Chain A
Amino acid sequence: MKNSAVLLPKRFILSVFLIAIFVWSLFSVHWNSDLLHTGGWPTMLQILKGVIRPDLTAEILALGLKAAWITLAYAVTGMSLAILYAFIVGILASGTLTSKTVSRLTSKIFFRGILGFTRAIHELIWAWLFVAAIGLSPYAAILALAIPYGGILGRIFADMLNDVPQEPIMALKAAGASKLQILIYGYLPLVWADMISYTMYRFECSIRSSAIMSFVGLGGLGYQIQLSLADLKYNQVWSYIYFLIVLVLLIDGWSNLVRRGLVERKRVKGISIGWLSTLLSVVLIIFSWVYVTEDVHFLELFSDKNIQYAQRFFGGMFGVGNPHPAFFDKENWSSALKLTIETLEMSIMAIGFSTIAAFITVLPAARNIANGDLTLTKRWYNWILFGVVRVLYIFSRSVPELVWAMMIIFLFKPGLLPGAIALALHNFGILGKLWAEVIEDMDSRPIRNLSSSGASRLQSFYYGILPRVLPRFLTYILYRWEVIMRTTIVVGFVGAGGLGMQFKLSMSYFQYTNLTLLLICYMVLVVIADFASESTRKAVK
């Protein structure tokens, strides 16, 4: 913070710029009462009634329990494969194994490229591609989860290895250790804790991904939610959503325990959290793999038949034997580009809405404000507000975007707005939770000072809290925008407009070359978003 005087205007300009983009995106929607279905509200009320009165009959509970296990099992199998992939490619991408500058750079660029490509595509798109190529096999879901998650993990692993303090490494080098020895005795021990805590955090996300994975026909909670929604049985929808929420909370709790255990490094009497977690992971992984792959042979994936189908599918995507592939057609390009702009607008609207919602709710959600530590004022309603907002956050982030979209589409007419709202509904809880943690971790002394010199709540927020947390807030906004960009295509599947909607239609009509065109547009968008967000994040740091 030594040169904050220089940085402040930069942040100010950036904030104004981001707000301007958000306002621009709002113009893509014609704002009038026509946005809502005339009969949307009664349907919405029916859906909301299900929140309070979920279907809790024994039959539904049994089904929900089984579906929850399937969801967990796919998440575990997918993640275990993702860790393997991330570990190997991540180390290669960090360039720690190569000594010459040239080979180091090439291996860095090459493997970082692979990681970038694999994480650019959303897991549901991978799933579609795999199902089309190798059929409805559990491996389609496992690979679809493992590939993008491996990509994300691998990149973070590589970053961690690159950020390792150089002194211990130099010491090892000076002592004559080989590259492999430096890796095993130098780099890895330094990053283990971070690697595991980040993996645990990703594991929680993979539960939600695994749930929506079932939309491609592999069973699990998402499948049950979809079936109940198709039959308009909203009380059952909510029963399954509650199962999902509980599952996410359990994993969240576990991952918090592990992370705390790693940070505090305190010996607990009896068996430590680390050992228990190890045991639990092993048991989970073994049971999941046995369950998921029970009656499928891995090598069958590479049977002649499958290779033939995969060839035909990918050949179809590249336009083999198609006299008029969509990606050589001007008209197709212009319509795809229009959808690309729409998708961009949807993502900006979505992050804008979630920012606003999180901004309004974040103060009561911080523990140190609820207990009065930060502002030195204790109000009886603070804890109630804290509870309400935190429950809202949990609902918001536990339900995947796709499920929000499927419900929102009953209220709004198909288009960009329902997509943006569905994305915002999921992300404001995540944003709020991350922001609340920022406030909880901040230095409380300046704020207390303000409060004790008589500043009101609002004043201490504007002059005390906001200036301190804004950079972190901005970082998280940009980071979530990146994630939202990747997910826009998924909410489109259920009629929320943009590239995703067209993707689903092309899939239904088997227009493979059009799929390729849409995927190209989508990937360009994701890469641009990644780049823009990363460079701005560096700028505000």
Chain B
Amino acid sequence: MKKWVSIIILAVLVFSLAACSGQNDKKTGKEKKEAKTQEVFKIGAIPDQNAADLSKGMTAVAKYLSEKTGMKVEFVPSVDYAALVTAFQRGEIHMAWFGGLTSVQARALVPDADSFAQRPRDSQFHSVFITQPSSGINKLEDLKGKSFTFGSESSTSGHLMPRYYLMQAGIDANKDFDGKPNFSGSHDTTYKLVESGAFKAGALNEAVWQTAVKDHKVDPNKVKVFYTTPSFYDYNWTLNSNVNDVFGKGADKKVKDAVLSITTQQKEITDFFQTDKFVETKNSNYAKIEKVAKALKMIQ
């Protein structure tokens, strides 16, 4: 009897599988037709900070864009930098808030993509190096033999440029630290790890650092800045090359205009980006980042 039960278990498993996948096909077929009439404009952002804040800020951008352009706009969160670049390459993300390095990576994969807008501060961006006040670290050279954490592997201000300026100071990040450098994954995690003492020092995005200090998210008695890098170009909005094909001619201009006309009236957005407006930028601004990334073999 038990034999029969088990045979039936397996048979039903198999049949129900076939049956329900059939049903799905029909159902999704219908849905697909509806979707064709209104494609969703998908925006993304590199997950370089607190996920809840990021989602709140980017959802505000999506809402603003859909009011301004009449398109259906949606924020798609991603778990890591590379995943966002890959989705952008596949045309599944139509506009993304990239860091300098990720925008260069993305444009290497989608040659006609356009880095079109940035915050005023992004043309003069800095990274800060932080440590505990008692660590005895006062300049980059002191970092030799100390434990160190970067942000994400793909971050410009959390990895690429700090590594570059370390190299300029004669420190090879792969060899000269105490152990291999850590990759914390996000700027917020970096200062928290240094604050807790998990790492002696770290490097992160200056803007995130300033917000953390302003909002008392970090204890200034436990962490101090000991070095600020020279300026470089960083974050920008990059528009995918497939926008006009999917949303019709002129869609790219509509979106660009909408982004560039964000003012402090869109308080939720400007607060999140810590800016009062977005200004135009161009692909060639990121040539230096591309050069450094090539030298460090982060892009081919």
Contacts and interface: CB of A to CB of B under 8 A. Distances in A.
B17 A413 contact: no
Nearest to A504: B153
Given A410-B198, A511-B300, A298 B25 contact: yes
A290 B147 CA distance: 49
A265 B2 CA distance: 6
B87 A505 contact: no
Contacts of B6: 192-193, 196, 262, 274
Contact of B92 (A42, A136, A294): A136
Contacts of B179: 34, 413-415
Interface string A288-316: 01100111111110000100010000000
A19 interface: no
A289 B147 CA distance: 47
Interface SS, B side: helix
B300 A510 contact: yes
Contacts of A511: 297, 300
Contact of A495 (B80, B182, B298): B182
Q: How large is the interface on A (under 10, 10 to 19, 20 to 34, 35 or more residues)?
A: 35 or more
A509 B28 contact: no
A39 B197 contact: yes
B10 A42 contact: no
Interface string B258-300: 0000000000000000000000000000000000000001111
B24 A217 contact: no
B81 A278 contact: no
A215 interface: yes
Nearest to B86: A132
A261 B6 CA distance: 11
Given A231-B51, A415-B179, A217 B17 contact: no
Contacts of B12: 278, 281-282
Contacts of B29: 297
A216 interface: yes
Contacts of B16: 282, 285-286
A463 B185 CA distance: 52
B188 A231 contact: yes
Contacts of A216: 79, 83
B2 A505 contact: no
A136 B87 contact: yes
Contact of A509 (B25, B183, B298): B298
Nearest to A46: B196
Contacts of A232: 188-189, 192
A83 B87 contact: no
Contacts of B87: 135-136
B105 interface: yes
Contacts of B196: 39, 42-43, 46
Contacts of B13: 80, 83, 281-282, 285
A168 interface: no
Interface string A398-429: 00000000000110011100000000000000
A272 interface: yes
Nearest to B2: A265
A230 interface: yes
Interface in A88-104: none
A189 interface: yes
28 contacts: A37-B197, A38-B147, A38-B197, A81-B17, A84-B17, A132-B86, A135-B92, A196-B6, A216-B83, A217-B78, A217-B80, A217-B83, A232-B188, A262-B2, A267-B1, A274-B2, A278-B8, A278-B12, A282-B13, A285-B20, A286-B16, A293-B24, A294-B24, A296-B28, A305-B91, A413-B178, A413-B179, A510-B299
Given A192-B6, A230-B185, 6 more contacts: A37-B147, A217-B78, A223-B79, A230-B189, A278-B9, A509-B154
Interface of B: 1-3, 5-10, 12-14, 16-17, 20-21, 23-25, 28-29, 31-32, 47, 50-52, 78-83, 85-87, 89-92, 105, 108-109, 147, 153-154, 178-183, 185-186, 188-189, 192-193, 196-200, 297-300
Interface of A: 34, 37-40, 42-43, 46, 80-81, 83-84, 87, 131-132, 135-136, 188-189, 192-193, 195-196, 215-217, 223, 226-227, 230-232, 261-262, 265, 267, 272, 274-275, 277-278, 281-282, 285-286, 289-290, 293-300, 305, 309, 322, 409-410, 413-415, 495, 497, 504-505, 507-511
Give the 7 A-B CB pairs with smallest separation, nearest first.
A39-B197, A274-B5, A413-B179, A508-B153, A217-B79, A278-B9, A192-B6
